[in-house]
Every structure is written in C-alpha cells, then in structure tokens.
C-alpha cells in the first residue's frame, strides 16, 4: 500500500483525530433570535384595546385561564376581546362562546371617563343573558412611601 506524503518526513503518515469541540455559535444565534422574537411579541400579549382604567388598591385576581374581556372605550363603543362589537351583537356572540363549553369569567373594562350608566348598562345586558361570572377590571394604585 502506497502512502502519499505531502511534505514532512518521508514514510510518515499524517493522522487526523476527531474534533472534540462543540461549536456554540449557531446555538447563540438561535437564542438571540428567540430573545428578540419574545421581546417583540410580549407587549402584544395584553388586551389591545386602549382603555384608561380607574385606579384602586385592590389586589389582582389569580386566573388559570385567559378570561373573556368586554371593553368600553371613551366614546362608548363596546369591544369583545380585540374586536369592536355592536351592542345588539354582544350577547349572541358571548352566548355562542359559552355554548361551546367556554364557561369562564367575563371581565368588563370601562374607561374612567365613560359614563357609569353605560358600564352598568353593559353589565346589566350580561346579567340578563344569564352570565353570572362578571367582574370589573381596574388598575392598581401604588401607595406613596409615606402612606400605608
């Protein structure tokens, strides 16, 4: 068997062992892309209807599932999750959702400049339709350091 010698001493074979290093560059690249994706999408995971909520000192409720959200904007328009809904379409849509076994809380988010009667009108519609797990959403007030 002939040995091809490319440089070096005559008659010696060049041995190449296995490379035992792990290349982490592709791993770091993928992690950075995932980090950027999550940083961009995390703010979008909240309810997208901008409502100026009133402030209270109540603590946030623990939830195991994402609740249905009915928002009432400053101009009195009603939104179901992120979709504007006519007043006469709200109850049929919620009823259709609840008939599919989606029995859970409905959170009502009313802008603080909306007339209190408008918020109560929407809550009355929900109650009249037989939806009993209805709650109001507020922002929490962070007390000043000298208050307790």
Please say whether the structural domain 48-140 has been given the CATH code 3.30.499.10: no
Strand partners, 71: 79, 109
Reference 109, options 143, 75, 70; nearest CA is 70
Q: Where are the alpha helices (DSSP H) in the chain?
A: 25-41, 87-99, 116-128
| pTM across the whole model | 0.51
SS3 107: strand
pLDDT digits (tens, 9 = 90+) for 106-137: 888 888 788 888 888 888 888 887 777 787 77
The residue ranges of every structural domain in the chain are 48-140
pLDDT digits (tens, 9 = 90+) for 15-27: 777 777 888 898 8
- Averaged pLDDT, 44-65: 64
Residue 78 near residue 85, CB atoms below 8 Å: yes
Q: How many residues are there in the chain?
A: 148
């Amino acid at each position: 068997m002939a040995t091809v010698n490319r440089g070096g001493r005559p008659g010696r074979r060049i041995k190449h062992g296995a490379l035992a290093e792990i290349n982490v560059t592709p791993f770091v690249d993928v992690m950075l892309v995932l980090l950027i994706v999550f940083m961009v999408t995390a703010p979008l995971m909240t309810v997208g209807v901008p409502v100026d909520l009133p402030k209270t000192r109540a603590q946030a409720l623990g939830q195991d599932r994402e609740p249905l959200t009915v928002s009432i904007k400053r101009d009195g328009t009603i939104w179901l999750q992120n979709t504007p809904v006519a007043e006469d379409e709200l109850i049929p849509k919620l009823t259709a959702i609840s008939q599919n076994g989606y029995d859970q809380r409905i959170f009502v988010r009313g802008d603080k400049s909306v007339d209190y009667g408008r918020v109560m009108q929407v809550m009355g519609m929900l109650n009249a339709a037989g939806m009993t797990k209805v709650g109001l959403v507020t922002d929490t007030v962070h007390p000043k350091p000298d208050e307790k």
